[in-house]
Structure 1
Amino acid sequence: MRDVQQHRAPGLAALICGRRTKWLIVAVWLIVFVVAAPLAQKLTDAQDNDATSWLPSSAESTQVLESSKQFRPEVITAIVVYAREDGLTGADRTRIIEDTRQLRTLDAHGVRGPQTRGPVYDKSTAPSAAQVFVPITMGEEGWEQIGPAVDSIREIVGTSSGGLAVHVTGPGGVTADSAEAFSGIDSTLLFAALAVVIVMLLITYRSPTLLLLPVIAVVAALFSAQAVIYLLAAHAGLTVNGQSAGILTVLVFGAGTDYALLLVARYREELRRHEDRHGAMARALHRAGPAVLASSGTVVLGMLVLLVAEMNSTRGLGPVAAIGVAVALVAMLTLLPALLVIFGRWVFWPVIPHFGSAEPTEHGFWARMGERQARRPRTIWIVTALVLAGLSLGLTQLRASGLSNADSFTGKPDSITGQEIQDRYFPGGSGDPLVVVAAAGRAPAVRAAIATTQGVVPGSVGTPPGARPEANGQVIFEATMTDPADSEAAKDTVERVRDAVHAVPGADAQVGGSTAALLDMDTATRHDNLLIIPLVLLVVLIILGLLLRAVVAPVLLVATVVLSFAAALGISALAFRHVFDYAGESTDFPLFVFVFLVALGIDYNIFLSTRIREEAVLHGTRAGVVAGLAATGAVITSAGLVLAGTFAALGTLPVVVFAEIGFAVALGVLLDTFVVRSVLVTSLFLDIGPRVWWPSRMAHEEGAAAREAGATTPKA
């Protein structure tokens, strides 16, 4: 047993945990936290959840949205729906008329009460339903304004009573309920992720004192990352929305805790080898640092690949996620080591790693698993690969073509109930029309082209209420569609209308509206899927090649993660169809799951493969695989459980998109942890042997390299 004084790790690693500098690092982080905390609380105010923050700037619907502002302020319509199955009574009609009168006097949160239209009754001889259209002007508050506006409408119209159904729906109602679903997203995810981390750290460390230090470090990282992102959003034009802000919390907690687990595990090893805890931490940083840097670098670069996306929401997520992971890395390689050294060995109580005590991983569960796999590695990896390939057949059940409003919530809010009633009695597109902007000189021809298109309600084409008839040589039209605005049939109508108006010579006509926006989102997302997925794979492959100085091993590692992704997506699709009864998935669902699983799932392969290489230099590849699995098995399993748990926390939100992403990523991480890393990768490396390091010298001169390294380097 040698003390670290004989081979102290040089440079930054020793500086971070120095006898004096450790206090300086903690002091710097304390100052950062005090400054960052107030800024982090402002991130919600900096979020932009308007349509333009999601859509590509080049999309036709985005350009129509911008052009429409010259005719009138941006307006979103809330629709009050009244219905009685056996026909509206005289008292019902009186109530509807009185409610409409009061709505016309409403002037709060952008509600344009005087421009309220209705009541409009269904076309039957004895009407059973009526609807009232209430416009809401989008102000500077944007998306956040709609909730209070709809609340003020609901205060006037009340709720269903005496057999008369009363609901607020339409774009305004759905947006308000979406805002309600996202309300408290930061605090909900923060506490859910924090609870997962605390429970898993307690199980892993079996120490009520040790778990506090990673929690302190990860909370400091989250607040610091949120502060940086807020400043960039407020002053540098970075787009942040509810989706990226929620994923930020999960990423920082998940990735940060993973890095903490790896560092603490290596530190605990070194404490048994070295008497001086400062030297032990310096050695742990020197040994574990490259793997942590490589894994975090993979995630950061993988997230930055999203910058090439057409979708603004996807492109904005890239730097948000990258900043979060980078800040988590800095915290775990500076603040956490300093805290661990300050508190000393006792922080591991009751299982304190004393100097000279035996390393339990050398003969534990994972060591025995590695030895068993070494007996028949080829059979094991072939069977495992076939099972994963079979599970990936569930991809045939994937329906990543988008979700309707009704299918977007895990429950059924008031607006969705109202929409179902509205669809029963009125044209599906009521209150959420197509918007067409065209050259004024070709207005009659454009109007005729719209009116004669299949899927447009006859007689519904006209100038929007409250809009100027002409501005800057352009005119604007609205048209009601026969199908619900969020349906595939409505998207087909948009395409037909676009074909019709684009064919009008000199009209320069463009078609927008919420349905057109959904269509443009689908188109952009499909483009992003085809572009980003190969780029992320290429980035990961290059990083692994540089890290392992090999070609074969990186190709194998990437292939195993892709197989894990396919299996996770296949199982998820089956679960969504037959367990959760979800109608489908958003078009960007495969992309997000892929990016998170490949960028994060490769972490565990990096942790394992770098340790295998380290051990292989000393003892040969096959012995190195068994030793690497024994040393990293417990910590990687714990890290996988933490990351899976934090992503599963997305399921606490009543939004199907988040629930699906959380489920699929959590499942994929568990597959990576328990199947891919511990079985498939290790058995592949055992079967291929030294050739896995080709073309490096280790593939040909492994024995000589091992002898040379063994003569100069102590076992770590």
Structure 2
Amino acid sequence: MFQGIGRFSVNRPWLVTLGWLVAAVALVVLAPQLKATSDQSEFLPSHYESVRAVSLQQEAFPQGRQPAAIAVFQRADGGKLTDADSKDVVEVASGLQAKDFPKVDKVVADPSAVSPDGKVALGYVLATTDTAYDQALVESVRKLREAVPGQLKGTELELGLTGPAATALDAQEGSSRTDAMIMMATLVLIVVLLLAIFRSPVIALLPVLIIWLVFLVAMGVIGIASDVTGLEASSSISAILIVVLFGVGTDYTLFLLFRYRENLRQEQQPKEALAAAAGRVGETIASAAGAVIVAFLALLLSSMGMLSNMGLSLALAVAVTLLAALTLVPAVFSLLGTKAFWPSKSWRKQPRHTLAERVGRLASRRAPIVAGVTGALLAVMAAGVLGFKAEYDSESSMNSELESVQAMQDMRHSFAAGQSDPTMVYVRAAGDASLDEEGLAEYRTALAGVDGVDTVSPAQLAETGDVARFSVVLDFRPTQDQAIDLVAGDLRETAHAAAPEATEQYVGGTTAVLADIRDAVNRDYALVFPVAALAIMVILALMLRSLVAPWFLMLSVGLGFGGTLGATVWVFQRGDDGLLFMLPVIVYLFVVAIGTDYNILMVARLREEIREGRDPREAAALAVKQSAPTIGAAAVILAGTFGVLMLAENSMLRQMGFAVAFGILLSAFVMATLLVPALTTLLGRKAWWPGNRAAPESPETGADPVDEEEREPLAPVRTP
């Protein structure tokens, strides 16, 4: 099949290229845009208590909205607010209210919302929409900010906007800047590295143009999936898509070009060499991409909408990249022929691969030592995983100079830490009964008695009289670990145990959402990890026709995962600060899936050498010599593209960039180049059972060779 696809693309390059161009234009014009959201509550299933609390809030208190944004007033000199300042606060709020911004219902100043130290007063931006992340509302917050300086003239006040809508605005603006920076840095990195490898400006620039076209097609496909399935992407998905598409796309292009150049050096004609390369590399690329795709699709099993949506988006993107690698890339290089390598002449010369040859000899001749040392190194790094601490505070990852972050810090200096976003407790009477005021007063007292609770508001009754709401201000920041532990533990337990009889109780709000997210993520760890590993092992077994090789390959990748996460803990985790709570899932999927790509390349070449009659030791040495340059070049480019995320303002993107880049380099230069060849040498012919009974065994392994009559013919699989 892959031979046929390769010949078709090489022999009809104009048709294939034109087809991709038409598809790209059509999708850019017709496909809907991705719907971005930062509202974490939308990512949880409906059975979680915090989500049910949101539903009850909308049903019982349709007009009782939480502020979409909070205006934090303080004097410019940092002193206490005077009576004149308090009047100015009201006038500023009234002036902003008069401007009538879309989706903004009211801008009000609360005379009672003055901090105990008298230094901060609060105003509230109430919206006409249920979600503070509505794009029109976020845009209105931008216009509110622009209008603030004019309203403050003649006063001694400063004003900063914070809260959900203001935070969403800052996150979007930061994401746009990050995307542009990451795109530029990624392009420069890929061009420079390709130029250094091939010494050809054509090859340095052409893959970037090809992958940009693939990026447009992939975004269109994801947009259609978004429209059909209701998919919503998190605010960071575009940055991740950029590095995945350009990184993986460059990798697959390199796999083809290295084999194409190898065939040209054997004096094959350009079209013949390219068609043969596309056919031989096709199965390897398809297997490698398949491992990545199934790993991403495993995220669909996540109870977190944020992860499942990300998994579907990335799987679709890699699938489009695979299709381009099998069709568009051969077609474009068929049009250019050997001119693609201009002005370099190095494609005509056989390389020495001196370093790769030495590494191959080391891995094959000192297999027990290499396997032991690399395994021990990975195990030592993996020990850092024991200190991993999940961080659920998304605000802590944002730039501290942003207005929403600074205003929130100013408010927390003067108010209780939880004042900005109270936890909401709802009580609903069963049936048609009404709630008893005396019982609600006792319930309020019980809630206020929980250690870590600052204040509890009096019960607010719904018009129907069967639902009451309490606003609970905590001593901790809403996204702080202590707040999450408190809500998930003592507060929820008290809310359920001390409630009036014949009632239902729900604890909601941001902190409750984060508590439920923590439970969901822990559940996902136990499900997504093994499913992804099992799916990848099935692909390896089918590709290698072996039941043994997948086990030691996944063992090596598992060690790489542990080593990667452990190293990230040591580099980034300081004091009470934790790491992105999704980091283990992301590292597992990227390192396991993409790291398996390099293992597939190496082990497929090992099998090829074995089938040509070489003993395991010789096969390992030759496989490393031939494959290590391809793996090394691909890994450096892919790791570089993910490493670009370390330039982002968001600390969580920086953590992700380091972890994935480090894991890819570890997979390529330690696991694929050293550990896997060493283990394969140690196992000998047993590594290929039951699909490679024709492989002769060297005297050093202690196994008997197989007679020619007993051998079964098997189709060779070649790799770059």
Question: Offset at 1:570?
Answer: 1.4
Letter in 2 for 1:36: L
How does the TM-score come out when normalised to structure 1?
0.89
3-state SS in 2 of match to 1:133: strand
Q: Check 1:461–1:324 CA distance in 2 against 1; reply closer, same or farther (3 A cut).
A: farther
Question: How many aligned residue pairs are there?
Answer: 693
Partner of 1:378: 368
| Equivalent pair of 1:281/1:341 in contact (CA under 8 Å) | yes
| Equivalent pair of 1:461/1:480 in contact (CA under 8 Å) | no
3-state SS in 2 of match to 1:167: strand
- Among 390, 395, 402, the alignment partner of 2:380 is 390
Partners of 1:119 and 1:157 lie apart in 2 by 22
Partner of 1:647: 642
Q: For residues 122-521 of structure 1, what are the structure 2 equivalents within 5 Å?
A: 122-124=115-117, 127-138=118-129, 142-158=133-149, 166-352=159-345, 357-360=348-351, 363-403=353-393, 405=395, 407-440=396-429, 441-442=434-435, 444=437, 445=439, 448-453=442-447, 454=450, 455-463=452-460, 469-470=462-463, 474-495=467-488, 496-503=490-497, 504=499, 505-521=501-517
Partners of 2:194 and 2:707 lie apart in 1 by 38
Question: Offset at 1:178?
Answer: 2.1
Question: Offset at 1:714?
Answer: 12
| Equivalent pair of 1:244/1:316 in contact (CA under 8 Å) | no
Question: Offset at 1:604?
Answer: 0.5
Are 2:50 and 1:56 aligned?
Answer: no
- Among 534, 539, 543, the alignment partner of 1:538 is 534
Are 2:585 and 1:585 aligned?
Answer: no
Partners of 1:131 and 1:633 lie apart in 2 by 62
Q: Check 1:461–1:218 CA distance in 2 against 1; reply closer, same or farther (3 A cut).
A: farther
Q: Check 1:282–1:353 CA distance in 2 against 1; reply closer, same or farther (3 A cut).
A: farther
3-state SS in 2 of match to 1:240: coil
- Percent identity of the aligned residues? 30
Partners of 1:615 and 1:205 lie apart in 2 by 26
Letter in 2 for 1:388: L
Partner of 1:624: 619
Are 2:570 and 1:574 aligned?
Answer: yes
- Return 630-639 or 542-551, whichever deviates more: 542-551
| Equivalent pair of 1:446/1:507 in contact (CA under 8 Å) | no
| Equivalent pair of 2:271/2:337 in contact (CA under 8 Å) | no
Partners of 1:55 and 1:190 lie apart in 2 by 31
User: In the TM superposition, what whole-angstrom CA distance separates every residue of 1:522-554 from its partner, at most 9, and x where no partner exists?
Assistant: 111111112111111111222112211223322
Question: Offset at 1:469?
Answer: 2.5
Partners of 1:128 and 1:411 lie apart in 2 by 21
| Equivalent pair of 1:553/1:693 in contact (CA under 8 Å) | yes
Partners of 1:447 and 1:13 lie apart in 2 by 76
How does the TM-score come out when normalised to structure 2?
0.89
Question: Offset at 1:422?
Answer: 1.6
Partner of 2:557: 561
Partners of 1:599 and 1:378 lie apart in 2 by 26
Q: Check 1:547–1:160 CA distance in 2 against 1; reply closer, same or farther (3 A cut).
A: farther
User: In the TM superposition, what whole-angstrom CA distance separates every residue of 1:118-171 from its partner, at most 9, and x where no partner exists?
Assistant: 4622224xx222222222343689443443333333345448999865422233
| Equivalent pair of 1:367/1:629 in contact (CA under 8 Å) | yes
Letter in 1 for 2:325: M
Structure 1: any 5+ residue segments left out of the alignment? 1-7
Partners of 1:588 and 1:709 lie apart in 2 by 47
Question: Offset at 1:179?
Answer: 2.6
Partner of 1:5: none
Q: Check 1:249–1:446 CA distance in 2 against 1; reply closer, same or farther (3 A cut).
A: farther
Q: Check 1:330–1:624 CA distance in 2 against 1; reply closer, same or farther (3 A cut).
A: same
User: In the TM superposition, what whole-angstrom CA distance separates every residue of 1:574-603 from its partner, at most 9, and x where no partner exists?
Assistant: 11136xx89211222111111111011111
- Return 73-82 or 654-663, whichever deviates more: 73-82
Partner of 2:519: 523
Partners of 1:53 and 1:568 lie apart in 2 by 31
Partners of 2:36 and 2:103 lie apart in 1 by 20
| Equivalent pair of 2:86/2:111 in contact (CA under 8 Å) | no
Are 2:41 and 1:47 aligned?
Answer: no
| Equivalent pair of 1:118/1:133 in contact (CA under 8 Å) | no
Question: Offset at 1:114?
Answer: 5.4
- Return 565-574 or 440-449, whichever deviates more: 440-449
Partners of 1:550 and 1:166 lie apart in 2 by 67
Partner of 2:654: 659
User: In the TM superposition, what whole-angstrom CA distance separates every residue of 1:219-262 from its partner, at most 9, and x where no partner exists?
Assistant: 12111111011112123322323233332222111111111110
Q: Check 1:712–1:485 CA distance in 2 against 1; reply closer, same or farther (3 A cut).
A: closer
